Amino acid sequence: MIHYLTMNALTVKDVTKTYATGTQALKGVSFEVPEGDFFALLGPNGAGKTTIIGVVTGLVNKTSGSVSVFEYNTDKDTELAKAQIGLVGQEVNFNPFEKPFDIVVNQGGYYGIPRSKAMPRAKQLLEDLGLGEKMYQSALTLSGGMKRRLMIARALIHEPRFLILDEPTAGVDVELRRGMWDYLRKLTKDGVTILLTTHYLEESEQLSKHVAIINKGQIVASGTMDEILAMHDDKEAAKDGYRGGRLEEVFIKLTSEK
Ligand SMILES: Nc1ncnc2c1ncn2[C@@H]1O[C@H](COP(=O)(O)OP(=O)(O)OP(=O)(O)O)[C@@H](O)[C@H]1O
Ligand SMILES: [Mg+2]
């Protein structure tokens, strides 16, 4: 038998995080994201999703455990691990008085990309993301959905192998959401690994390869989308009047108070 070795884009092992306030945001979290995956990290508000992303990207200091991004351990090869990642954070965090084009080009500077190389790439990214007409206007003039797309362009300027998006489609209308999911799917076809969080379970059900569901700082389920959907119980779902998609029913079952 031929054995193919596949690398993980992300390996999270026994990670805990207790914030200075005493909040135990992560209580021993382990999961893996295979290279090339379209991975959804799902969970209710306050479950610990943004904290995990913070730990992986070096914005939050973990309390214990280990994280590797491809072959780089985030404690030992911190800068190399970070360089593999493009991050679209949950909060809009660019300077609104700058122009989208400059925001994206300047981000390239943080990764040592010369302006001569960053400029055509920024233009291409902004055009691909539908911001061609806005790129030389102040970012103040962008709508909410445009700001999200600007953050995606910025996250891609250094051609990361691994793109992490924390609720990229929050507040984005249905048509634009489809466009964004399409764009992300194309990126995975080009070999980019994607991890995202979202509260749009129906869309996630259709697009994600692997899923982890987190609740109160602990992973309560993880596997392929088909494995998670197999946890669905048809009879149980019919009890109340409202019926969501299968992923939604599994999610509710695993994350609601008993
Ligand atoms: N900087 C912080 N200091 C103290 N507690 C924090 C901090 N950031 C987050 N927390 C707490 O850690 C827990 C997990 O928060 P986190 O932001 O990771 O959740 P989340 O899953 O991203 O939620 P949401 O879906 O609302 O974005 C929550 O109880 C939150 O109040
Ligand atoms: Mg969050």
Query: What digits encode the pLDDT tens for the residues 192-205?
Result: 999 999 999 988 99
pLDDT at 223: 95
Q: Is the pLDDT of residue 110 over 90?
A: yes
DSSP state of 243: -
pTM: 0.94
pLDDT at 206: 87
Q: What is the residue-averaged pLDDT of the chain? A: 93
CA atoms within 13 A on the CB side of 76: 8
Question: 3 C-alpha vs ligand 1 centroid, how far in Å?
Answer: 41
- Calculate what percentage of the chain has a pLDDT beyond 90: 85
Of the pLDDT bands very low, low, confident and very high (cuts 50, 70, 90), residue 233 is confident
Q: Is the pLDDT of residue 2 over 70?
A: no
Provide the terminal-to-terminal Cα distance of the chain, rounded to the nearest Å: 46
pLDDT at 203: 86
Question: 52 C-alpha vs ligand 2 centroid, how far in Å?
Answer: 9
pLDDT at 91: 93
Q: Is the pLDDT of residue 57 over 90?
A: yes
H-helix or E-strand containing 189? helix 174-189
Burial of 130 (0-12, 13-18, 19+ CB in 10 A): middle
**C-alpha to C-alpha distances, 257 to 62, 201, 254, nearest whole angstrom:** 27, 19, 9
Sign, CA torsion 234/235/238/240: negative
Q: Is the pLDDT of residue 241 over 70?
A: no
Ligand 1: atom nearest CA of 199 is 25
pLDDT digits (tens, 9 = 90+) for 153-163: 999 999 999 99
- Lowest-confidence region among 9-18, 60-69, 98-107, 246-255: 246-255
Q: Which ligand places an atom closest to the C-alpha of 46?
A: 1
pLDDT at 3: 59
Question: 46 C-alpha vs ligand 2 centroid, how far in Å?
Answer: 7
Separation between Cα atoms, residue 253 and residue 165, nearest integer Å: 25
Averaged over 36-62, what is the pLDDT? 97
Task: Identify whether the C-beta of residue 137 lies closer than 8 Å to the C-beta of residue 74.
Answer: no
Higher-pLDDT residue of 2 and 45 is: 45
The closest residue, in CA terms, to atom 24 on ligand 1 is 45
Ligand 1: atom nearest CA of 52 is 18
Q: Is the pLDDT of residue 168 over 60?
A: yes
Q: Is the pLDDT of residue 88 over 70?
A: yes
Averaged over 246-252, what is the pLDDT? 92
Of the pLDDT bands very low, low, confident and very high (cuts 50, 70, 90), residue 141 is very high
Question: 89 C-alpha vs ligand 2 centroid, how far in Å?
Answer: 9
pLDDT at 6: 75
Domains of the chain: 85-193 (3.40.50.300)
pLDDT at 187: 96
- The residue to which tokens 């969501």 are assigned: 244
